Structure 1
Amino acid sequence: MKNGRTLVSLAQELERQLNSKKDLVVPSALMRHDTDDTGQTRLVVEETGGPARYGVTPLARRQLADKLKIPYAYFERMRSEQPVLLDRNVNTWLQSDDDRRMLRTLDGNVRAVLSDRYRRLDNYDLAESVLPILQRLPEVRFESVELTETRMYLKVVTPQLKHEMSPGDVVQAGVVVSNSEVGHGTLSVQPLIYRLRCLNGLIVPDFSLHKTHVGRSIGNVADTITVFKDDTLQADDKAFFLKVRDVVEAAVSEATFLQAAQKLQKTLRIPLTGDPVKTVEVLANRYALNEQERAGVLRHLITDADLTGYGLVNAVTHYSQDVDDYDRATEFEALGGRLIELPQSEWKSLAEAA
């Protein structure tokens, strides 16, 4: 499993961000886009006290382009080659747009441009609610926690629940809680299988909770700006966080764990009878792996010398430890979970690739 930061470091950064972030719901007509000669972009917002200038992160640029229906490749070309043209395009569409946007800011930068219906389920509130629940799990270990630009992850293992896949090959039960504050996915709670031999994590898609960040429109005055600070973001989500507790407990129940472990165990009986190189090629094409990722999965498959479906699943999850980007590494852990759910016909196309 990909290593992250310490739990103390996560708590410190969440608290720092709590004191630095600010949310605004802004009519498009009260925003202006400004690009300097170096290609740095800013959003100028006409706030009550006068114009306020915010930097714009790459993710927020992409979301702004999407909201205004400007192809992102063209947006970026204008930013680097014709910044005046970019500002003219963006500002023309902003001024003709009746929509209100939620701007999520941190450290003086717009980090997300979202709909005014976006429902905030924030990392600090989630951590405050779910960490005590996780800490009460039997013999709990926080194997990996991280806070990236787009998501927070809490990955824990409770070794009391374990299952032997084959002699000496033991897996343990766990759970993954993740969330995005910037419109990059749902809040989710998913079971985790942790393999002791290789320290691989596999995220199980079944038995999971997903909560979309969609709610009612905030405010109804078209020409005013609404500023939300963190003390106003708590009440709506208390009931939901109680549901999170129930799903966490279900995710690490004996029944859930054994059902998932048995699905993984069935892949031991799937021989890879074709060409391993072709098998990984089919996998890469099906799940959009790049050349480096394909080579990494193949390397683990050959090195571990386990030419079965089980070996392929473990090659995928083992490769996650080699990936620099934590978000992408987690996607490989989730891909392992998707593979154990494949029907026999799809396994056949992988196993017999030639």
Structure 2
Amino acid sequence: MKTGRSLTDLATELERQAAMKKDLMVPAKRMSSVTHTSGQCNVMVEEAGGAVRYPLNDTACSQLAKRLDIPFSYFKRMRADYPELLDQNVNGWLRRNAADSYLLRTLDGRARAFLSTRYRRLDNFDLAKSVLPILQQLPGARFESVELTEARLYLKVISERTTCEVAPGDVLQAGVIVSNSEIGCGTLRVEPLLYRLVCSNGLIVCDRSMRKNHAGRALVSDDDAVLVFKDDTLEADDKAVFLKVRDMVQAAVSETTFELISEKMRKTMGIALVGNPVKVVEVLANRYALNEAECTGVLRHLIEEGDLSGYGLVNAVTGYSQDVDDYDRATEFEELGGKLLALSGGEWKQLAEAA
């Protein structure tokens, strides 16, 4: 499993971000685009104290383009080659959409998300404050990997007392992953996690999960004013969501859930990869959009492990996740391991016999 930061470092950064973030609901008529010749996009917002410039990161740029129905490939081309044209496009559509408002999420004076006013804020600090005590109470709880990326918060916890042996000396432990995005890059999710002791691989089971999307009631705005949100505006609704998270955490590491997932792992041991291993990985790559470097990495793990079975392929995928620099992408490979467990017999046959 990909190593993250320490729990202390995570808590410190969550507290810092909670103090430095600011959320604004901005009428389209109160904002404009200003793009620097360097390609840095900014939005100017007419706040109560005067105009404030917020540089946009790539996520906010893509969301701005989506909100205004500007193809992002064209947005990036204008940003790089013709910044003035980009501003003309964005400002023109903002004027056309003058009756609309948008949720602008900022951190450290930079715009990190450009969202609909229906976006439901579920913030990482509040989630962590609610769920960490629950995770700490799991039997033999061990925080195996925690991280806060630009896109998501991840809490991956193992319950050391819930174990099984799928083969002599090959022990699996039950776990759970809680993840959330504050910037529209995914739902709040609670999912079972399998941890393989012999190689520290983690596997996320996506088909037995809770997912809470960030859609909510449309926020009511003053057509002429920029509203700054306070942290207590959604506390009551948050508590209901976090109670559901508590229940799902307990279900994710239950003996019943663990036995079902472990049995799926055992069954992959009986799937022989009788085809060409290179072709097997190519079929996998085509199905799940792996790039060339990722294909090479998965194939290397498959060959080095020397287990040409479905079980070996699952472990090659999750093992490769530890080599991936980007934590978000590494977690996607842990999820891919879980997706392989959910394949039908026919889908496994297509993989196993690739030639």
TM exceeding 0.5:
yes
What is the aligned partner in structure 2 of residue 59 from structure 1? 59
Q: Determine whether 1:207 maps to 2:213.
A: no
Deviation of the 1:235 alpha carbon: 2.6
Matches within 5 A, 1:187-226: 187-226=188-227
Q: Does 1:341 align with 2:338?
A: no
Q: What one-letter code is carried by the residue in structure 1 that aligns with 2:248?
A: V
Q: Is residue 25–residue 221 contact of structure 2 (8 Å, CA) maintained in 1?
A: no
Aligned residues: 354
Unaligned runs of 5+ in 2: none
Aligned match of 1:271: 272
SS in 2 for 1:19: helix
The separation in 1 between residues aligned to 2:35 and 2:348, in whole angstroms, is 50
Structure 1 residue 230 displacement after superposition = 2.2
Q: How do residues 56-135 of structure 1 correspond to structure 2 at under 5 angstroms?
A: 56-97=56-97, 98-135=99-136
Are 1:240 and 2:241 matched, yes or no? yes
1:154 alignment counterpart: 155
Once structures 1 and 2 are overlaid, which stretch shifts more, 177-186 or 158-167?
A: 158-167
Q: 2-side partners of 1:8 and 1:235: how far apart?
A: 28
Q: Residue type of the partner of 1:45?
A: V
Given that residues 29 and 96 in structure 1 are in contact (C-alpha distance below 8 angstroms), is that contact kept between their aligned partners in structure 2? no
Shift of 1:100: 1.1
Letter in 2 for 1:73: S
Q: TM-score, normalised by structure 2?
A: 0.98
Offset of residue 330 of structure 1: 0.2
Specify the SS of the correspondent of 1:154: strand
Partner AA of 1:265 in structure 2:
R
Partner of 1:11: 11
Question: What are the within-5 Å matches in structure 2 for residues 174-185 of structure 1?
Answer: 174-185=175-186
**RMSD value, Cα:** 0.8
Please give the alpha-carbon distance, in whole angstroms, between the structure 2 residues aligned to 1:99 and 1:199.
49
Partner of 2:304: 303
Looking at structure 2, the residues matched to 68 and 186 of structure 1 have their Cα atoms a distance apart, in angstroms, of 23
Matched, 1:49 2:30: no
Measure, in 1, the Cα distance between the counterparts of 2:220 and 2:179: 29
The residue type paired with residue 35 of structure 1 is T
1:16-55 to 2 correspondences below 5 Å: 16-55=16-55
Post-superposition CA distance 1:309-343 (Å, at most 9, x none):
00000000000000000000000000000000100
- In structure 1, distance between residues paired with 2:179 and 2:16: 19
The Cα shift of 1:345 comes to: 0.3
Take 1:220 and 1:303, find their aligned partners in 2: how far apart are those partners?
59
Q: Which runs of 5+ in 1 are unaligned?
A: none
Aligned partner of residue 198 in structure 1, secondary structure? coil
Q: Which moved more, 1:92-101 or 1:320-329?
A: 92-101
Question: Whole-Å Cα distance in 2 between the matches of residues 99 and 164 of structure 1?
Answer: 57
- For 2:331, the equivalent position in structure 1 comes to 330
CA separation in 1, counterparts of 2:276 and 2:174? 33
Residues 203-244 of structure 1 show CA distances to partners (whole Å, capped at 9, x for unaligned) of 011321000000001114322222103233423211110111
Which segment is superposed worse, 217-226 or 58-67? 217-226
Q: Quote the Cα distance in structure 2 between the aligned partners of 1:33 and 1:294.
A: 40
Please tell me whether the aligned partners of residues 18 and 230 of structure 1 are also in contact (alpha carbons under 8 angstroms).
no
Conservation of the 8 A alpha-carbon contact between 1:152 and 1:178 = yes
CA–CA distance in structure 2, aligned partners of residues 82 and 65 of structure 1: 16
Superposed, which structure 2 residues align to 1:276-295 within 5 Å? 276-295=277-296
Kept in 2, the 8 Å contact 1:190–1:204? The answer is yes
Q: Look up the equivalent residue of 1:136 and give its one-letter code.
A: Q
CA deviations over 1:173-213 (Å, ceiling 9, x no partner): 00000000000000000000000011000001132100000
In the aligned structure 2, how far is the partner of 1:79 from the partner of 1:342? 42
- Give me the TM-score of the superposition, normalised by structure 1: 0.99
Deviations 1:129-183 (A, max 9, x none): 0000000111110000000000000000011011111111000000000000000
SS in 1 for 2:69: coil
Give distance in 2, aligned partners of 1:203 and 1:41. Answer: 36
Report the 3-state secondary structure (helix = DSSP H, G, I; strand = E; otherwise coil) of the residue aligned with 2:138. coil
SS of residue paired to 2:269:
helix
1:222, 1:176 → 2: CA distance? Answer: 41
Residues of 1 paired with 2:251 and 2:219: CA distance?
Answer: 34
Three-state SS of the structure 2 residue aligned to 1:266 is: helix
Q: Give the aligned residue type for 1:330.
A: T
Q: Distance in 2 between matches of 1:206 and 1:44?
A: 43
Give the residue type in structure 1 aligned to 2:348: W
> Larger deviation: 97-106 or 284-293?
97-106
Which consecutive segments of 4 or more residues in structure 1 shift more than 3 A?
A: none
- How far residue 38 of structure 1 moved from its aligned partner, in angstroms, is 1.4
**Separation in 2 of the partners of 1:56 and 1:234?**
28
Give 1:74 shift.
1.1
State, as a whole percentage, how many aligned pairs show the same letter: 64
Distance 1:75 1:53 in 2: 20
